[in-house]
Amino acid sequence: MTEPSLPAGPPSPASIARLPDHLISQIAAGEVVERPASVVKELLENAVDAGARDIVLRIDEGGLRRIAVQDDGSGIVREQLPLALTRHATSKIRSLAELESVLSLGFRGEALAATASVSRLRITSRTANDDTAWCIDAESGEITPAAGSRGTLVEVLDLYARTPARRKFLKTPATETAHAVDAWRRVALAHPAIAWQVWVDGRRLERWPAADWADRVSLALGEDTPVRRIESEAGGLRLQGLAGVPTASRSRADRQFFYVNGRAVKDRVLSHAVRQAYVDLLHGDRHPAWCLFLWIDPTAVDVNVHPAKAEVRFRDGRSVHGFVYHAVQQALRAVAGAGHTPTADPALRQTAWIDPIRPSSREGLFAQGRPAVLRDSQPMGLTGSGAQPPRAQTIAAWLDALRPGPEARPDAPPENPPQPMPPLGQAVAQLHGIYVLAQNDAGLVVVDMHAAHERIVYERLKLSRRARAPQVQRLLLPQSFAVDAHEQAAFEDQRESMAALGLELQASVEGHLAVHAVPAALAHADPVQLARSALADLSEQGSGQSLQQREQALLATLACHTAVRAGQRLSLEQMNALLRDMEQTPGADQCNHGRPTWVQWPLVEIDRWFLRGR
C-alpha cells in the first residue's frame, strides 16, 4: 500500500489582494440578505426613516421574482441616487457619537448595496422640489427620468438569480411569503401613525390604516384576544404594550413582539423577563401573546451588534430585566374582577370582555368601592368580605322583605343605602358540587371553586415563603408514615426546601418519616397526606429543575391538595367568602395550571335564551 506523499516544505505564501467591491457586497449579503424576508425588513425600515406616512409592500412568488416597496417619504435627489447603492453610504449617522445614540432603524449603509449584488434592483424616487421622478438601474448605474409621485419605489427583481446556490437553501414560495409578511407585520406594528398595505401575487392581503398604538397592536395579537394593558415607567425606562391573559395562550409562540426604541428585536434578556412574569400563571407548552415597547436612553443600549440589527446589548441588562419582569407581572396579576370579565361564550368575547383597551357599554362596572372586611372567621379557613344576602326561607319571606313598611314614604331616602355590588357579585347557589353561581351587575358569574381556592391558597403560601420565616403550625404529636425508596430519596434531597416552605419532616424509625409541622395556611389539611403528595411530586420531578421551579411546583402541589374538592358542600357564607378572597388575590383569574377560575354570562345573552325583547 502506497503511503500518501507529504509536501516537501511549507507552502509558498499566497499573495494578498483586495477583494472586488462586488464580491465584498455579495459576502455582506450573506449576513444581511438571508432570505426575501430580510430584504423586506430593510426596505420597510428605510421607508420609515424617510418619514413616510403611507407604505405599500408587494411580493411575488415568495419574493424571488419581485419585492417592491413604495412610500410617500422625503425621496432621494437625483445626484445622490448612485450613493444610495454604495456600500457604507448612509444619511443616518455622521460620527461615532451619533452611532452610539442612533434612533433611526437603519444606519449601516449596507442593505441596498448587498441586495443589489444578488438581484436586479431599481430605485425610482422624487423629492418635493423635483418636477419629475428619477430612476436608477443598479447594474448599469444609468439614471433616467420616470413617472412617479413624491417618495421612493424600490424594486428587487430575480432575487438570488446571480447566486443560484443560495436559492437551494430557500423554502417554498408559500413559506417565504409567510416569513416576508411576518417581517412586514413586525415593522408595521411599531409605527401606528403610518398606513400600511401588503400585496401578495397581485392580491391585497392586509391593509392597516393609521391608528392608535393599542388598536394597531390588537390587529396583530387578534381582536378576540383578551389582554392586559401595560404602562410603567421607572429609572429612565418606560414600558408600554399589551399582554395576553394566560387563559388566552396559544400552541405556538407566533404572537410575541418586542421593540426597543421602536426597533423589533429578539433579545434573550427581554424574552426571559416576560416568560418569568407568566411562570406561575401558565404551565405546559402553551405560549402567551404579547406586544411590548421598551423605551430607553439610546446611549444605554448597543444596536450595532449584528448586521441584521435584530439583536441588542444593554449596558445594565439586570436592571432592564427586573423592570420588564415586574411591569408585566404587575399587570397580569390583577385580582379577579379588576378590569376585565372573562366571558363563557367566545362569540361574545369582543363585547363581554371589559378591559382598558376596548371598554364595553358597561364601562366603570368594576370601579366601585369594596365593602368592609368581615372580621369573623369562616368555616374551612375561607375568609372574606362583603354583606351577605338575606336568609329568606320562603318566597313569602322574600316578598315581605321587599315590601315597604307602613311608615315608609315614596320620597323618603332609605336609612341604609344599598351597598355597591362587588365585582364577582353575591353567591346564590352551588352547581353539582363543582361550581359556585353568583349574580353581579353584568349577569351571571360561574366560578370553579376548586381552581379558585387553589390559586388563593397558592398565593398565601407564596407570601409566607417570601417572608423567609414562614408561618408554621406545629403538631402536638408528630405523625409517622412509611415511605418507599423514591420518597426517602426525595426527602433527603429536598428536606431543606420543604422546611423553608413550612413543611417539616424528620426521619423516625427505618423506612418511616414523621411530620412535625405544616404551613399555617394548611393547618386544617391531613399532614400525612400533605407530606405524601409533596414527596411524590418531588420524586417525579427529580433534581433537574432549578430551586425556584421546584419550590413553585411544590407550592402548587400543596395548594392543590388542600383546596376545596368537587362535591364538597359550601354554605352561602362560604361561597361569598371565596368570591371576596378572589377579589383580593393577585392572579386569581386563572388557576395554577393556567385554566380560568371564573366566567361571566352577560345578562343580554341570558335574555336571548328566552327571546326577551323580541
Q: What is the DSSP string of 170-206?
A: ---HHHHHHHHHHHHHHHHHT-TTSEEEEEETTEEEE
pLDDT (mean) for 119-132: 94
DSSP structure class, residue 413 = P
pLDDT (mean) for 128-154: 93
- Strand (E) or helix (H) holding 98: helix 96-100
* DSSP-based three-state secondary structure for 250: strand
Report the range of poorest mean pLDDT among 77-81, 85-89, 272-276.
85-89
Residue type, 76: I
Q: Give dist(CA 200, CA 179) in Å, integer.
A: 12
Q: Give dist(CA 213, CA 227) in Å, integer.
A: 14
For strand 443-448 and strand 435-440, is the pairing parallel, antiparallel, or unpaired? Answer: antiparallel
Residue type, 311: E
Q: How far, in whole angstroms, is CA 419 from its chain's centroid?
A: 37
Q: Give dist(CA 62, CA 82) in Å, integer.
A: 28
Map 279-340 to HEC letters: CCCCCCCCECCEEEEEECCHHHEECCCCCCCCCCEECCHHHHHHHHHHHHHHHHCCECCCCC
pLDDT tier for residue 243 given thresholds of 50, 70 and 90: very high
pLDDT (mean) for 456-472: 79
Q: With 50 as the cut, is the pLDDT of residue 102 above it?
A: no
Q: With 80 as the cut, is the pLDDT of residue 370 above it?
A: no
pLDDT of residue 356: 29
Give the dihedral sign, CA 405/407/408/410. Answer: positive
Q: Give dist(CA 44, CA 374) in Å, integer.
A: 59
Q: With 50 as the cut, is the pLDDT of residue 488 above it?
A: yes
pLDDT of residue 462: 82
Report which listed range, 61-70, 156-165, 221-230, is most confident: 61-70
pLDDT (mean) for 383-390: 38
pLDDT of residue 172: 93
pLDDT of residue 24: 59
pLDDT of residue 583: 93
Q: How many CB atoms lie within 10 A of CB 247?
A: 19
Question: Measured in Å, how far apart are the chain's first and last C-alpha atoms?
Answer: 99
Locate all alpha helices (DSSP H) within 278-422, ordered by sequence.
317-332, 349-352, 395-402
Q: Give dist(CA 469, CA 463) in Å, integer.
A: 10
* DSSP-based three-state secondary structure for 14: coil
Q: Give dist(CA 47, CA 45) in Å, integer.
A: 5
The answer to whether 42 touches 59, Cβ cutoff 8 Å, is no
For 287-322, what is each residue's pLDDT tens digit?
889 999 998 888 888 876 665 567 788 889 899 999
pLDDT (mean) for 472-485: 90
- How many CA atoms within 13 Å lie on the side-chain side of 129? 3
Strand order in the sheet with 443-448: 426-431, 435-440, 443-448, 598-602
The answer to whether 204 touches 195, Cβ cutoff 8 Å, is no
Report which listed range, 46-50, 402-406, 540-544, is most confident: 46-50
DSSP structure class, residue 247 = G
Q: State the average pLDDT for the chain.
A: 78
- As a dihedral over the C-alpha atoms of residue 143, residue 148, residue 152, residue 158, rounded to 10 degrees, the angle is -70
- As a dihedral over the C-alpha atoms of residue 357, residue 362, residue 363, residue 364, rounded to 10 degrees, the angle is -140
Q: How many CB atoms lie within 10 A of CB 147?
A: 9
Please enumerate in sequence order all residues whose Cβ is within 8 A of that of 93, keeping only pairs 6 or more positions apart, or say none. 99, 102, 104, 107
For 557-603, what is each residue's pLDDT tens digit?
778 877 888 888 899 999 999 999 999 998 888 887 778 899 999 99
- Percent of residues, the chain, with pLDDT higher than 90: 37
Q: With 90 as the cut, is the pLDDT of residue 187 above it?
A: yes
For 403-450, what is each residue's pLDDT tens digit?
444 444 455 555 666 678 899 999 999 999 999 999 999 999 999 999
In order of their start, the domains of the chain are: 21-208 (3.30.565.10), 213-332 (3.30.230.10), 470-562 (3.30.1370.100)
Where b means 16+ CB within 10 Å and e means fewer, 428-463 reads eebeeebbbbbbbebbbbbbbbbbbbbbbbbbbbbe
The answer to whether 478 touches 514, Cβ cutoff 8 Å, is yes
- As a dihedral over the C-alpha atoms of residue 584, residue 585, residue 588, residue 593, rounded to 10 degrees, the angle is -170
Residue type, 383: T
CA separation (Å) from 81 to 144, 145, 186? 11, 12, 28
pLDDT tier for residue 12 given thresholds of 50, 70 and 90: low
Q: Give dist(CA 425, CA 276) in Å, integer.
A: 32
The answer to whether 423 touches 336, Cβ cutoff 8 Å, is yes
